[in-house]
Amino acid sequence: MEKLAEVILIPSPAMGHVAQMLELAKLFLSRNPQLSITVLIMKLPDYIDAVSGPFVDSVAASSSSGRLRFFELTAADPTPEWSSKTRGHFVYRLVQSQKSHIREFLISQRPGNNKLAGFVVDMLCTPLMDVAGEFGIPIYVLFTSPAAFLGLMLHFQFLEDECCQDVSNFNNSDSSSLLSFPSYACPIPPTVLPMVLVDRDTWLGRFLDFARGYRKAKGIIINTFAELEIHALDAYNNNNNMSRSEQEPLPLIYPIGPILNQSKSRSESEEAETTNWLDEQPLNSVVLICFGSQGSLQAEQVKEIAIALENIGCRFLWSLRRPPQSNNAQFPGEYTTYSEILPQGFLGRTEKKGKVVGWVPQLKVLSHEAIGGFVSHCGWNSILESIWFGVPIATWPLHSEQQVNAFQLVKEVGVAVEITLDYCERNKDQPMITAEAIKKGIMKLMETNSPVRDKAKEMKEKSRGSIMEGGSSYLSLGKLIDELLNNAAL
Ligand code: UDP
């Protein structure tokens, strides 16, 4: 039998990461019959995240084939320490715990005798690069956030390691000042710098380590497209303050997006309730409100949104999820009844115009012609999905790198209006976003004729063009696949 070039993929378990990696697997296979893929799966326990594990199982059940295999790594045994800090800390511990299992897999459990072409590790799984390195396998990183954020991570790590600068000091900058960073076209207010890059106690050390890992990769695959992030990709390719250029060239980058999560996370019948309701709504009339797989808001903040929606009187589809209740690493869950959290009588009064749900089939919803705008936490997947369907965004970041994504969308790309750019769920002094500010943002978002809506339509066309034959991402993926085949000497 003909030997294939085998690529081993290691996704990070959270939804916004694992879904992209699974789509990358499908993309590789559909583009080249000489590739074979093994996905090494690590799962979050159900008490941490009840969504991503079943999602991966259903994708594995429906898409395994001769060329696409899933291998579930031995379940980890989390200690209370894993849950003591943040979701990111839990994931990090889980990733570290898998080193020996991956080594074992490579030594004795890898089926078949295909030629190894490369390892692709998620941007949060760089601790596993050492293991792949032991086997001399070329390693690639899948970067599931914007290229601008990759540039920021590398720049900050460069400042720390090469210029002896304490980047956490950016956090103390005068809040009315503006800071210039190579990968962003517009100067940035310090308030939108993500905590993951300025909070030394909780995140910074880990993120600097991730960035050190990226430099060791043979290539960095980014879920973005050239037309969306022209400035950031130029800054990277010109190595603008991201490394000592001569001595340490940066790895090649492959912008191959948008990679959209096409797999279902819920059954047809669960989805039908929402889509049937959308079918009855007028064109472009509904605002979708959704804060991603990890987003939830406290009761008082939920009430402000409810007041805003009632005041505006617009149609809405609101994905309302319950904040984690028992430990710091938990993901949000579902309410048993929404009346426990919403203002009294809200559901009855808005019955004709709105629908409150839990987890939504977001991609399908965004594709629906009734949707006219998206209040989003600005996770990168959600942004790419919204752009793909030409739906303008109103920004409400919560965590990770979302504040700086929101800034990029509003100030640089022009597909979003601002509700808030610097909301941060972990900021103990975070002020409430008032009903008035939410109303203002949603009304601007839903304007029929606006530069933001026009820009969203323009970017929709560009995103689709990028993955068509001859498009920027199509060509970039082709180069990556040629390199993988070359690695395997096929
Ligand atoms: N998602 C969904 N329904 C929900 C919440 C999220 O389908 O109710 C999907 C969304 O379409 C996206 C992913 O989960 O593909 C969330 O990724 P993103 O990067 O936007 O945010 P994260 O969850 O990582 O914060």
246 band by pLDDT with thresholds 50, 70 and 90:
low
pLDDT, tens digit, for every residue of 386-439?
Answer: 999 999 999 999 999 999 999 999 999 999 999 999 999 988 899 999 999 999
Lowest mean pLDDT among 23-32, 159-168, 169-178, 208-217: 169-178
pLDDT of residue 347: 96
- Are 378 and 485 members of one domain? no
Interval between CA 175 and ligand 1 midpoint (Å): 30
Instruction: Quote the pLDDT of residue 111.
Output: 73
59 is a domain residue: yes
Considering the domain boundaries, does residue 148 fall inside one?
yes
**Is 247's pLDDT higher than 80?**
no
Q: How confident is the model at residue 140 (pLDDT cuts 50, 70, 90)?
A: very high
User: 270 falls in which pLDDT band (50, 70, 90)?
Assistant: confident
The whole-number pLDDT of residue 42 equals 96
Expressed in angstroms and rounded, the spacing between residue 385 Cα and the centre of ligand 1 is 9
Residue 241 clears pLDDT 90, i.e. is over it: no
CATH number, domain with residue 280? 3.40.50.2000
In this structure, the answer to whether residues 273 and 248 fall within a common structural domain is no
In this prediction, residues 272-295 reach a mean pLDDT of 96
Lowest mean pLDDT among 175-189, 196-210, 264-278, 358-372: 264-278
Same domain membership, residue 351 and residue 239: no
Q: Is residue 37 part of a domain?
A: yes
Q: Give yes or no: residues 19 and 145 share one domain.
A: yes
pLDDT above 90: residue 325: no
User: For ligand 1, what atom is nearest to the CA of residue 321?
Assistant: 8
The answer to whether the CB of 205 falls within 8 A of the CB of 127 is no
Same domain for 206 and 310, yes or no, is: no
Supply the pLDDT for residue 1: 65
Q: Ligand 1, atom 6: nearest CA belongs to which residue?
A: 292
pLDDT exceeds 80 at position 385:
yes
Please indicate, yes or no, whether residues 303 and 387 belong to a single structural domain of this protein.
Answer: yes
Same domain, 89 and 220: yes
On whether both 354 and 455 belong to a single domain, the answer is yes
Pocket of ligand 1 (CB under 6 A): 15-16, 19, 261, 265, 290, 292-294, 319, 359-363, 379-382, 385
CA of 292 to the centre of ligand 1 (A): 4
Catalytic residues, by residue number, are 17, 122
Q: Round to whole Å and give the CA distance between 424 and 403.
A: 8
Query: Which ligand 1 atom is at minimum distance from the Cα of 385?
Result: 11
What residue numbers bound the domain in which 429 lies? Answer: 269-463
Pocket test for ligand 1, best of 270, 362, 396 (most atoms within 8 A of CB): 362
Q: Which pLDDT does position 263 carry in this prediction?
A: 84
Q: Percentage of residues in the chain with pLDDT exceeding 90?
A: 88
The residue whose CA has the least distance to atom 8 of ligand 1 is 359
Residue 257: name the closest of 457, 40, 471 by CA: 471
Query: Is the predicted pLDDT of residue 245 greater than 90, yes or no?
Result: no
pTM of the full structure: 0.97
pLDDT of residue 480: 98
The answer to whether residue 101 scores a pLDDT higher than 70 is yes
Average pLDDT, the chain: 95
Determine which residue's CA is closest to atom 3 belonging to ligand 1: 360
Smallest CA separation from ligand 1 atom 13, residue? 16
Please report which confidence band the pLDDT of residue 2 belongs to, taking 50, 70 and 90 as the band edges.
Answer: confident
Residues 51 and 64 in one domain: yes
Residue range 39-63, pLDDT digits in tens: 999 999 999 999 999 999 999 999 8
Q: Which atom of ligand 1 is nearest to the CA of 260?
A: 15
Residue nearest to atom 15 of ligand 1 (CA): 381
What is the count of structural domains for the chain?
2
